Chain A
Amino acid sequence: ETGVTQSPTHLIKTRGQQVTLRCSSQSGHNTVSWYQQALGQGPQFIFQYYREEENGRGNFPPRFSGLQFPNYSSELNVNALELDDSALYLCASSLGGQQETQYFGPGTRLLVL
């Protein structure tokens, strides 16, 4: 059974740029959730994708967007990067549009300069 993987592991961007982060869900899982974890804070829910549709969203602006593909992998896109977007981005996979039992990837650390 393959676990949740994320790429890249680290990324440096400048303010105003756009970034795409990728997540491969655990085998058999059809739901992917994305979280932002600022340094010293708990993860904050960005949104969730279930069967290629967004079915839940946290308090993040529209410049945070995502996709889920037929193989259930997912992308997180952030446009017009701001310094405060610097954080660890985590994805988690689960089943059935629920987060009752979710498995987290190792994260992508984004630094915006």
Chain B
Amino acid sequence: GDSVTQMEGPVTLSEEAFLTINCTYTATGYPSLFWYVQYPGEGLQLLLKATKADDKGSNKGFEATYRKETTSFHLEKGSVQVSDSAVYFCALLNTGGFKTIFGAGTRLFVKA
């Protein structure tokens, strides 16, 4: 079945460091890919998405590119801030559009 695998955390970075969180997926058909973020004490929020191969999703300085050849959707940010500390979830939406599958999440700590 469809699945998402993302790098285990926690990831601890200093402010202004470069961030990469790896995500790979297994799916039939042509899924859409997402990154969601869960800030401490808040609900799950959509961070960015890409709906087809080679699309790049971007938001708040974060970027991820849908790579069909490597079945990956890695999250990157050039310079993290303390306020980026959160749990990040990679997810895919099946071709039918009614079943989102999430990875286990990666906790990010950013130190001042």
Contact = CB atoms under 8 A, between A and B. Distances in A.
B46 A99 contact: no
Contacts of A48: 98-99
Nearest to A44: B102
A90 B44 CA distance: 9
Interface stretch (B53-61, B62-70, B89-97): B89-97
Nearest to A107: B43
A38 to B, nearest CB: 10
Interface in B57-112: 89, 91, 93, 96-105
B97 A104 contact: no
Given A42-B105, A99-B93, A104 B100 contact: no
A42 B98 contact: no
A56 B102 contact: no
Nearest to B4: A42
A42 B89 CA distance: 7
B46 A97 contact: no
Interface in A54-89: 55-56, 58
B43 A104 contact: yes
B97 A42 contact: no
19 contacts: A33-B98, A43-B89, A43-B102, A45-B100, A48-B98, A55-B98, A56-B99, A58-B99, A97-B98, A98-B98, A99-B99, A100-B32, A100-B93, A100-B97, A101-B46, A104-B44, A104-B45, A106-B42, A106-B43
Interface of A: 4, 33, 35, 40-45, 48, 50, 55-56, 58, 90, 92, 97-102, 104-107
Given A56-B96, A90-B44, 13 more contacts: A42-B103, A43-B44, A43-B100, A45-B101, A56-B98, A56-B99, A97-B98, A99-B93, A100-B32, A100-B51, A102-B46, A106-B42, A107-B43
